[in-house]
Structure 1
Amino acid sequence: MPETSDLKNGLAARIGEAIAGVLDLVAIASSLVVAGLMAFLVVARYLLGLSVVGLHELIMLAAVALYMTGAVIASRKRDHLTVDWIAGNITDPRRKAAHDLLIATLTIIITIFFIVWAYWMFSWGLKRPQTTPAYQIPLWVPQMAIGLAAVGCFCYALRDFIGALSRLRHS
């Protein structure tokens, strides 16, 4: 019979893979929307002489989703805030764990500021609702993507902090 920690690790891995899959799908979909709508905009304007009202709004929404999803994916892959020269020159496992703990701590602090800023921006958008000119899309929609990215980056920073702390304690 598997141990409880093995079951928890398996469940955590499956949840992590599901989240990674959703993030990848959002990144692919928003990339296709940005590229497709930009191509359509160029073709419509310069080859057909059409001006499609509001297309920039949709491109902006997809681009915000893409940028914020990219930030969370970078956090998931530990590709954010990396100084390769320093990390590459640390060979001692204990010092490497301490370095990773420092990076994770700084990332947590920064993402807390990011979460607070995103919350203020989102709540301001709800108190003073504004919409895009053509399609009347509430501005809190792209602001919500920023908030979700802030929370996602915080969660991955917390994961990195716990992992580095565990390695530091066991080295």
Structure 2
Amino acid sequence: MTRFASILLTVLICVVALGQFVQVITRYVLEIPVMGLEESLLFPTLWLYVLGAVNASRENTHIRANVLEIFLTTDRQHQILAAIGEVISLIIGVWLTYWAWDFAKYSHRVWRESPTLYLPTFWVDMALVAGLILMMLFTVGHLLTHLRTIFAKDRLDG
């Protein structure tokens, strides 16, 4: 899974970078803009952003500002704080996933299309749904890990 994710993210970032490079060269150097290129780059760009967030969730490397950790002294307190953070993330994530799913249903019903190439934007909207579902699964996994650590230490201490 890790190898697949890194290959997919690498391919997506290369596609986006190459597309932007072509756009800059054709528009500003050759002065012949490629119509629809920016629009078609919407798909890999959004999937890149969302899957990058999923990867950060999988690796548990999201940027955090854990000010409370300064005041906590034991590993158990750190684990409890992390578990609370995961629960809050899970609540907000489920709420956002519900909204994203509702929007994706709307997008499918009206079958929105991009303005120039008439590409169905439903597939872009589904990136958010898929990404949020995957992030919630990884959040549940991290929460279970924290809870196992907390309760394992309780058994050892008790």
Normalising by structure 2, report the TM-score.
Answer: 0.89
Residue segments in structure 1 that go unaligned for 5+ positions in a row: 1-17
Match of 2:156 in 1: none
Aligned residues: 153
Match of 2:19 in 1: 37
Residue segments in structure 2 that go unaligned for 5+ positions in a row: 154-158
2:99 is the counterpart of 1:117:
yes
% identity of equivalent residues = 20
Mapping of residues 157-168 of structure 1, within 5 Å: 157-168=139-150
Mapping of residues 47-126 of structure 1, within 5 Å: 47-80=29-62, 82-87=64-69, 90-126=72-108
The one-letter amino acid of 2:35's match is V
Match of 1:127 in 2: 109
**Alpha-carbon separation, structure 2, partners of 1:97 and 1:42:** 48
Normalising by structure 1, report the TM-score.
Answer: 0.83
For residues 53 and 79 of structure 1, do their structure 2 counterparts lie closer, same or farther at Cα, with a shift above 3 Å needed?
Answer: same
**Alpha-carbon separation, structure 1, partners of 2:97 and 2:19:** 30
Q: For residues 26-67 of structure 1, what are the alpha-carbon distances to aligned partners after superposition, in whole Å with 9 as ceiling and x for unaligned?
A: 221111111111110010111112121110112221210111
CA shift for structure 1 position 156: 0.8
Q: For residues 112-148 of structure 1, what are the alpha-carbon distances to aligned partners after superposition, in whole Å with 9 as ceiling and x for unaligned?
A: 0121011011000111111112332111111111111
Ranges of 4+ aligned residues in structure 1 off by more than 4 Å: none
Choose the corresponding residue for 1:170, options 144, 152, 155.
152
Q: For residues 78-132 of structure 1, what are the alpha-carbon distances to aligned partners after superposition, in whole Å with 9 as ceiling and x for unaligned?
A: 1225224433553412111111110110111111012101101100011111111
The one-letter amino acid of 2:148's match is S
- Aligned-residue Cα RMSD (Å) equals 1.5
**Alpha-carbon separation, structure 2, partners of 1:81 and 1:46:** 36
**Alpha-carbon separation, structure 2, partners of 1:168 and 1:122:** 38
